[in-house]
Amino acid sequence: MKELWKLFITFCRMGAFTFGGGYAMLPMIQKEIVEKNKWATEEEVMDYYAIGQCTPGIIAINTATFIGFKRKGISGSIAATAGMVFPSLVIITVIAMYFRQFQDYAIVKHAFGGIRVAVAALVANTVLKMLKKSVKDSLGLLIFGASFLAVAFLDVSPIIAVVISATLGIVTKEVRTGAK
C-alpha cells in the first residue's frame, strides 16, 4: 500500500506542477521516475512515451499508467493514473468556475502568453534530450529527419511515422545481427 501511495503522490505532484501537456512533463518525469525513484530507465520512459503517443488518450496519463503497471501491476497503474489526473480535475474545476470573470483581464492574457513561451522551451529541451539519447548512428539520424519532415511538413500521421520507424529499427537490427 505504501508503494501505491508513493506512486499516487509522485504523479500527483507532477500533474500539479507541470504545464503544457505530456511533452512538457517529460523533464519532470525523467527526474522523478528515472533519477530520483529509479522506477524506470531513460530508455524505458522514452519507449513509454512512444507507445503513449500512438495509443488513444493523453500521453502523460498513458505514460503514468505504463510506469505504474511496471511497478505494481493493475493497482499501480490505477494509482499512478489517478495521481496524474487528480490535480488537473481540481484545477480545471476551479478555473471553470471563475474563468469567465477573468479571461479578458490583460494580466491573465499576458500570463498565458508567458506560459506558452515557457512550455515551448520545455518541449524544445525535451526534444534535444530525446534526440541525444535516441539517435546513435547515421541511420537513426536519417529516420529522425524523415519522420520529422513527414509529420511536420507532409501531414503524415505520427502513428504511421512511428510504425514505419519501428519497422525500420527491427529490420536494421535483424540485418545487422543476421550478418554476424
pLDDT in tens, 110-133: 988 898 898 888 888 878 888 888
Give the Cα separation of 45 and 63 in Å (integer): 8
So what's the pLDDT on residue 180?
A: 57
Residue 157, pLDDT score: 92
Residues of the chain with pLDDT under 70: 18-23, 179-180
**Amino acid type, 129:** K
What whole-number distance in Å separates Cα of residue 167 and Cα of residue 121?
A: 31
C-alpha cell at 39: 522506477
> What nine digits make up the cell of 133?
539519447
Buried-state track 86-105, b at ≥16 Cβ within 10 A, e below 16: ebeeeeeeeeeeeeeeeeee
Residue 97 near residue 24 (C-beta atoms within 8 A): no
Query: Residue 22 has what pLDDT?
Result: 66
Query: Burial of 124 by CB count in 10 Å (0-12 exposed, 13-18 middle, 19+ buried)?
Result: exposed
Assign residue 85 a region (left: φ > 0; alpha: ψ between -120 and 50; beta: otherwise): alpha
Q: What per-residue confidence (pLDDT) applies to 58?
A: 80
Both ends of the chain: CA-CA distance in Å?
Answer: 48
Q: Which of 72, 82, 71 is nearest to 11 (CA)?
A: 82
Q: What is the CA radius of gyration of the chain?
A: 19
Please provide the DSSP assignment of 1-21 as one string. -HHHHHHHHHHHHHHHH--SS
Q: Would you state the pLDDT for residue 88? A: 86
pLDDT of residue 46: 83
